[in-house]
Every structure is written in structure tokens, then in C-alpha cells.
Amino acid sequence: MNFRIYSLLLLICLQSCDLKTSAEYNAEAEILEEEEKFEEAIVQLLYARHDLGYLEEGCADLLQTQELGDPNAPTVLKQYCK
């Protein structure tokens, strides 16, 4: 009987651990999705500025974003503001 209780408790523990891990993975996926959307928005802003002949201002916007600590800005700057 003790073995059955132990097995049941172990099963419950493993299931709760898996649920927590699954929730963590979902949260990380949501964060990555938001980062991708933000980077895409920055690139669209830069293209809009470039199309209007204001590439320097678009790069200045990105530099300001980098100064604010955005982790996505340096990647965009390397690609489009050389």
C-alpha cells in the first residue's frame, strides 16, 4: 500500500513539474514572438524613412532605441545602418 501511495505522489509531482516546464516554454515563446514583432516594426520604420529620403533620421531613431537599452536595436543597426 505504501508503494501505491508513493507511486501516486511521484506521478503527481512529475505531472506538475511538466506543467510548469510547459508554461515556461510558452512564456519564452511569447517573449520571442514579441521581440520579432518589435524588430519587424523597427525595420518597417526604417524602410519608411528611407523611402521618404530620410535614412539618416531612421538610423538616428534606431540609435536612440539602442540607447534606451533595447536588445533588438543593435542587430537592426548592423543590418541597415552601416
What global pTM score does this model have?
Answer: 0.38
From CA 42, how far away is CA 39, in angstroms rounded? 5
pLDDT of residue 8: 62
- Per the CB < 8 A criterion, the answer to whether 73 and 66 are in contact is yes
In tens digits, what is the pLDDT along the chain, a chain of 82 residues?
A: 466 666 666 666 655 555 556 777 777 788 888 888 887 777 777 777 666 555 566 666 666 665 556 666 556 555 666 5
- Phi/psi for 29 (5° steps) reads -65, -40
pLDDT of residue 31: 81
